[in-house]
């Protein structure tokens, strides 16, 4: 008899456990739903608005009169003619060269960032502040500009209160007009080649002589920041720049070069050319070790060590092109 009671109590106990379990699950679902809806509210833009972002920057002819308009036009001048503008303001020629290399922002962001297919900068004022994995932190637009100043422009960063920095920001805000914060901007960051073929550096050199020297000169030193910028040597970007990554250089060349015949090179040709360009000497970035503090550093940043390996013929392209592990 007592055995029957024990069994019944046991059965009831199990039933109640199942009930509590089910209740717990339901509460859990509800909490998840609540969490989801609250993140929806926090998001600055709904899916609908995000898909509406179109590439349609206002014309420079419509810049307003007054101090704001002057800042926008000064910003445009700085972005399009960076080296000359910043070097002209320096105390001596030497100071000027330290401040910035021979490039302009337009050397990579063609037409001061207004050309849709050539690393445009339209919308960046709505994108930043934004998380950057190279720094493993949220960076402001000012900090992102300084990122290109110290790497791509191989120069000194702007001080926080520099009027020229404010002018650049005013310009980027102007060309980002009407773009909602947080919107998807499909024209940004289009330069990474997804699967880069193993390059033939010698073939890259041959093609360089045929297709590139008219504007970039035989020695890669270029013919002018906006006619054929320096591809290597003292006047060019340093090896901490984004475009010093092999996959990005290959994508950039395929999307943009030879200027006037964009998108005609095969993946293989763009890869060969990128490997040749990045095998040449260029200024060194002083702090490779400080990059990617959160891990996930790309393997294809073409540092001095890798340049040497290209020259020695010891480079392991499979390894460089293999996926990054975090
Ligand atoms: C040598 C090439 C080069 C030069 C010169 C250069 N940049 Fe860049 N910049 C890049 C690359 C590469 C990226 C990464 C995004 C991409 O691939 O389009 C980038 C990204 C940026 C971004 C962030 C864009 C985004 O989509 O998040 C800003 C802002 C920017 N650059 C501003 C400037 C400014 C201002 C200058 C001049 C002071 C400048 N850059 C000069 C190559 C360059
Ligand atoms: C008709 C002139 C012309 C030819 C030919 C040409 N480029 Fe360019 N290149 C430019 C101009 C101008 C820019 C500046 C960005 C722009 O306006 O698109 C540039 C920018 C670049 C950049 C980024 C800036 C820098 O300093 O690194 C690279 C890389 C580049 N070219 C590689 C090549 C390669 C490789 C070839 C040959 C396949 C080539 N270019 C052929 C005119 C040319």
Domain residues of the chain, as ranges?
60-175, 201-320
In this structure, which ligand is nearest to the CA of 77? 1
Mutational test site, ligand 2, from 229, 243, 244, max ligand atoms within 8 Å of CB: 229
Any ligand 1 atom below 6 A from CB of 153: yes
Query: Per the CATH hierarchy, to which homologous superfamily does domain 60-175 belong?
Result: Cytochrome c-like domain (1.10.760.10)
Output the pLDDT for position 182.
87
Ligand 1: distance of its center to the CA of 228 in Å? 17
Q: How far apart are CA 165 and CA 146, in angstroms?
A: 9
* Same CATH fold assignment for domains 60-175 and 201-320: yes
Total-model pTM: 0.87
Any ligand 1 atom below 6 A from CB of 99: no
Any ligand 1 atom below 6 A from CB of 282: no
> Residue 15 — very low, low, confident or very high, per pLDDT cuts 50/70/90?
very low
> Residue 1 — very low, low, confident or very high, per pLDDT cuts 50/70/90?
very low
pLDDT digits (tens, 9 = 90+) for 231-266: 999 999 999 999 999 999 999 999 999 999 999 999
Q: CA angle at residue 26 from 23 to 32, to 5 degrees? A: 140
What does CATH list as the number for 201-320? Answer: 1.10.760.10
Q: Residue 131: helix, strand or coil by DSSP?
A: strand
Which protein residue's CA is at the shortest distance from atom 42 of ligand 1?
A: 108
The CA distances from residue 247 to 41, 155, 270, 322, 323, in Å, are: 37, 24, 10, 11, 12
φ/ψ of 131, rounded to 5, equals -75, 130
Q: What tokens does 227 get?
A: 């006619």
pLDDT digits (tens, 9 = 90+) for 178-233: 999 989 999 999 999 999 999 999 999 999 999 999 999 999 999 999 999 999 99
């Amino acid at each position: 008899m007592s055995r029957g009671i024990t069994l019944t109590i046991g059965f009831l106990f199990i039933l109640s456990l199942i009930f509590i379990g089910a209740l717990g699950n339901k509460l859990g679902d509800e909490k998840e739903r609540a969490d989801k809806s609250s993140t929806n509210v926090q998001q600055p833009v709904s899916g609908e608005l995000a898909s509406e972002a179109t590439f349609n920057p206002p014309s420079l002819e419509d810049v307003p009169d007054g101090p704001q308009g002057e800042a926008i036009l000064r910003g445009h001048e700085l972005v399009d003619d960076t080296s000359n503008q910043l070097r002209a303001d320096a105390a001596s020629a030497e100071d000027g060269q330290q401040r910035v290399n021979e490039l302009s922002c337009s050397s990579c962001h063609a037409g001061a960032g207004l050309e849709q297919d050539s690393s445009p900068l339209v919308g960046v004022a709505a994108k930043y502040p934004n998380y950057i994995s190279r720094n493993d932190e949220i960076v402001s637009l000012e900090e992102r500009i300084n990122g290109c100043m110290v790497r791509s422009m191989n120069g000194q960063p702007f001080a926080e209160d520099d009027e020229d920095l404010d002018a650049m920001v005013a310009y980027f805000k102007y060309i980002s007009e009407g773009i909602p914060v947080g919107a998807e901007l499909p024209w940004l960051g289009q330069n990474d080649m997804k699967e880069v073929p193993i390059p033939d550096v010698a073939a890259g050199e041959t093609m360089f002589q045929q297709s590139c020297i008219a504007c970039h000169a035989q020695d890669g030193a270029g013919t002018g920041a906006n006619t054929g910028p320096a591809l290597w040597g003292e006047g060019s970007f340093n090896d901490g720049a984004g475009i010093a990554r092999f996959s990005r250089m290959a994508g950039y060349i395929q999307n943009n070069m030879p200027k006037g015949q964009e998108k005609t090179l095969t993946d293989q040709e763009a890869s060969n050319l990128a490997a040749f360009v990045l095998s040449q000497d260029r200024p060194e970035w002083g702090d490779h070790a400080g990059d990617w503090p959160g891990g996930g550093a790309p393997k294809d940043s073409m540092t001095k060590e890798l340049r040497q390996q290209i020259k020695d013929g010891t480079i392991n392209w499979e390894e460089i092109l293999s996926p990054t592990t975090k």
